[in-house]
Each structure stands twice: as C-alpha cells, then as structure tokens.
Structure 1
C-alpha cells in the first residue's frame, strides 16, 4: 500500500513536467513579414498585434514561435502565401472580394478601420481654396493623386472623384506641391509621419476642412490550408479586444497621429467601397467611429 501511494505521488509530481515537455515539443511556428526599417510603425504594429493574439492563446493551443520574413512587398506576400512557402504565414492586406476568394482570413480589422479615414495634403498655394471643400460633390470638382494599383484609386473612381495616377509613390509629394493635382489623401495613421518625412524637400500643408471615410478593413490573411492557425489568431484578437490590450497597442502606435489630424473639426465625406460587396459585415462592430477618434471629449 505504501509503495502504491509512493507511485501515485511520483506520478503526480512528474505529470506536469511531462505535459510541459510535450507542449514544448509541439511548439507551433508562425511566419509574418518583418518591418524593413525601424521607423516603419505600420509593419511593427502588425507584427506586435499578431504576437499579442498568439500570446492570448498559449493556454488553448500551446507555445509558439513567431519568425519574421524580410524583403516582401505586398504582391510578394500574396505569392508567398499562395505557394505556402512558410509554415503558418500570415500577412496583412486590405480586404477585397478577390483576395478573400484566394485566402483564408481572421475577420478582425487590424487597425480598427482607421485606415479608411483619409485626410489630404495640398500645396500651400491651394490651402485656402481647398478648405472650402466639405462635401463629396465639391470634392468631385477637383483632382486627387493616387498611386498605380492602389485600392483607393478604384474607390475614388467609383465615387466619381477625378484622379491622376502616378506610378512612383515618392513622385506624389512633389506633384501635389506643384499643383499637378489638387489633393493627395492618406490614412490618418500615416500622414503625420509622411509630413515629417517630406518637410524639408516639399513644403506641404494639410487641408483642414474634411475627412474622407470609406470602409477599408485590413485582416490577417493566410493560405487556405491553415484553418486551425487562423482560428487561433481570430480567438486571440478577440480576447485582446475584450480585455482592451488590442486597443491599447493600437493607440500606443497611432494615437499621436490621430490627434494630429484633429478629426472633430472636419466635415465627413462618406464614400462607398465597391471592392467589398461580399464581405461578412460582422467586422464592423470593431471599427472605430469618428467619436472614437476624439480623445479630449
């Protein structure tokens, strides 16, 4: 009897160690694109949000290792995911019906939809006139510069806003400064950084009369062969949202940028997005409204 009790005690003592060892053996590897430069807050935020989602689900799915893949453009990310080149490769991209047909995704908006809020650079000489624009009809009387292949180009054209297409991203800033087109509209999460980046070479200024709003959700996409990994990411994102850590992370990266554009003083110009006709709209409950972008209430 004493020996039996001793065996039971030994089993109870070593069982947690065995379970822990098994979980360590079954560490799940995930891959995601790295930030190419330290100042690329957008990609750094994406990596940290993915890491947060994985952290929130360790008890359910076991330990993980997140490996970063460098040198990937948006197009290359999709190619890598299609080829399933890396185990559990997740990348961020804006939803379109076409992309959703090719990949599986976790239906939680990575930046809470703030990328769909756009404010616009203008040339200093055009600032006063630009600030008369407060409606879509007025904006339709002006031109907006856009990068070749940008989703925003399709959205603006669908809303009958005249566009000027430019193949090189860096060319957009001197062109708007030289009045080659009237507006260069960027997401509220990126415009402050770009203004600082081009301050010396291009004396750009910011229109203050309106903010464009259209649905442009970005999700974590992956190869269709990764349903369990997708479920894990989705569960982790929702847990992080529920306990507030996802919102806190986003604000740690973007609150200063959001405050910079002072949305409460701007007229809202709503637009439709023809590229998301088949989307499951359940994601909308996590999208921030204008009231969520005002912090000094």
Structure 2
C-alpha cells in the first residue's frame, strides 16, 4: 500500500508517537470525527496537513479520532455543543458554520471542492455529453446526501436532486438508475472510484460543475487557543512551502486526470456563503485550472 493511501489510524498513531517524544502526557487531546465512509477520501491528506501545522507546537496537542462514526451534520453539532465530543472538523464553509465555529480561513482544497465532475452508471456513460448549459442540466437528476451543503447549492440553482440519508447508499442508487449523475470534487472522485471498483459506475468525461466555496478546518468555540495555534501553524506551512508540497503530493494526479480545460464548465451560484468571506485577495490559496 502506498503512503498516499495509508489508513488514517496509522497517521493518527504516528502523530501520537511524535507527541510521546515531546511529553504527550502534558498534551491536550483534540478529537476529530471518525468517518462513516467505507474509505474516507480526505482523511490521509487532511491529517498530514494537520500534523505538519501542529509541529509548530511539538507535544502540545494529541490528535485522536472520536469513539464512534459521525455523519457530517452530527459531527458539526458535536463541535458546536458546549459538551460535545468533537473539537475539530473539516468541511465546506457556509455562513452558518462560520458564525457558530472558529473558521481557519485557509482552504485545504484550494477551492477544488467547488470543481465537480460526476459519477454516472456504466449504461449511461455518455449521458452528460449533450449537456452544454445549466438549462440542459435541469432536465436530469443528481444524487446527494440530504444534509450536505452541496444539496442545497444544487437545488438553489433549480437542479433536480434525489437525496439519500447516507453516502454509501448513493453509489447503489446510481448503479440502479435512481438518479442520473453523482457530482464529486475532483480530488475525491478517483479514490472513490477505486474504493467502489466492484460497482457498475463510471466517471463522466464531458462536464464539470463549478461554484465558489472553500473547505476549511473548523474549531470548536470551546477551543479558542487551539484555533489560534492551528491558524498560526497553517500560515507557517504555507510560508515555507510545506502545504503546497503536501497538496501536490495528494492532488496533482487528480488534477491531471480531471482535464478541466477540455470539459464544458457549468457555473453555479452558492447562496450558502458570502463571497466576501472568502480570502480571494490571496491568490496563492486558490486552485486555477
């Protein structure tokens, strides 16, 4: 197994060992949510970035997954709650999340979460080839989890969305044609294809959806000092080039495979996040196809 796909618990253990060498017994435990996905497409990358950022404070923090798996909404609620188990989440930014949590406004994805290509069923591999505009896309159905921000974004653009209560169920629903396409971020979709290789689904070659968004670390209001330290650590690895190196390590291949310049771009609006909250004045933080 390559380093790129190390299980998240190995990275967590590595961080724990690092902490032990720096007096872990005096460290503060930071809990992050254990994923409900069969294979979490983000976890290895996110934990490597997080570990690098917190090396600015050796031994001060110990990263630990939650005891149980959390769907996205429940994980966020646990992070907000004064008595919640979760101290840190990474998720798409919205106005509401930014108002209730401490956002670390450095996009982990460099905005790639808003660049989406789709799974389709094998039987309908070229279904999206005729799509040239948003009005064309309104004639078919997307699939999403009911509480994802993406669902509301698609619906606000008058697109038809069939929802599921779980992420894994969407793959089965697509396979049996309960809906037509399943949009995923370009840095998610290739790993998800590999982890669902037994299913009769394919990756569309023809279109890409785009809407402005960012994928941030969000810290619980219970942990303001940790939030300040994490921001400082993220700025440090940005300045020394470590963040970009990790980003390219995990995402260079996906960007190449996505081949965005040869796809039809369907622009969508994002009513969930005010654009003035995005750090658009820092071009080094953003992916440009």
Give, in whole Å, the separation in 2 of the partners of 1:268 and 1:111: 19
In 2 relative to 1, CA 135–174 (structure 1 residues): closer, same or farther, beyond 3 Å?
same
Q: CA deviation at 1:231?
A: 2.1
| CA distance 1:277–1:113, change in 2 (3 Å) | same
> Where does residue 156 of structure 2 map in the other structure?
158
Equivalent positions of 1:199-214 (< 5 A) are 199-200=197-198, 202-214=199-211
Larger helix proportion, structure 1 or 2? 1
Aligned-residue Cα RMSD (Å) equals 2.8
Consecutive unaligned residues in structure 1, runs of 5 or more: 1-22, 291-297
Deviation string, structure 1 residues 196-232 (Cα, Å, up to 9, x no partner): 22222x2212211111111231212122243332222
SS in 2 for 1:274: coil
Counterpart of 1:64?
60
Q: Could you say which residue in structure 2 is the equivalent of 1:104?
A: 102
- Greater than 6 Å deviation, 4+ residue runs: 23-26
Query: Greater CA radius of gyration, 1 or 2?
Result: 1
Q: Secondary structure of the residue that 2:87 maps to in structure 1?
A: coil
2:257 corresponds to 1:256? no
The offset of 1:41, in angstroms, is: 4.5
Counting only pairs closer than 5 Å after superposition, residues 140-289 of structure 1 correspond to structure 2 as 140-200=138-198, 202-277=199-274, 280-282=277-279, 285=282, 286-289=285-288
1:123 Cα deviation after fit:
2.0
Provide the residue aligned with 1:40 in structure 2. Answer: 40
- Equivalent pair of 1:109/1:283 in contact (CA under 8 Å): no
Correspondence for 2:4: none
SS in 2 for 1:31: strand
Residue correspondence of structure 1 range 113-152 to structure 2 within 5 A: 113-152=111-150
* TM-score of the aligned structures, taking structure 1 as reference length: 0.78
| SS of structure 2 residue aligned to 1:275 | coil
TM-score between the two structures when normalised by the length of structure 2: 0.80
* Alpha-carbon distance in structure 2 between the residues aligned to 1:32 and 1:279: 30
Counterpart contact for 1:33–1:72, Cα < 8 Å: no
Residue pair 2:113, 2:213 contacting (<8 A) in 1 also: yes
Determine the C-alpha separation between the residues in 2 that align with 1:130 and 1:236.
42
Unaligned runs of 5+ in 2: 1-21
SS class of match (2:123): helix
Deviates more, 1:106-115 or 1:223-232: 223-232
Structure 1 pair 89/156, CA: closer, same or farther in 2 (3 Å)? same
Deviation at residue 67 of structure 1 after TM alignment: 2.5
Q: Which residue of 1 aligns with 2:13?
A: none
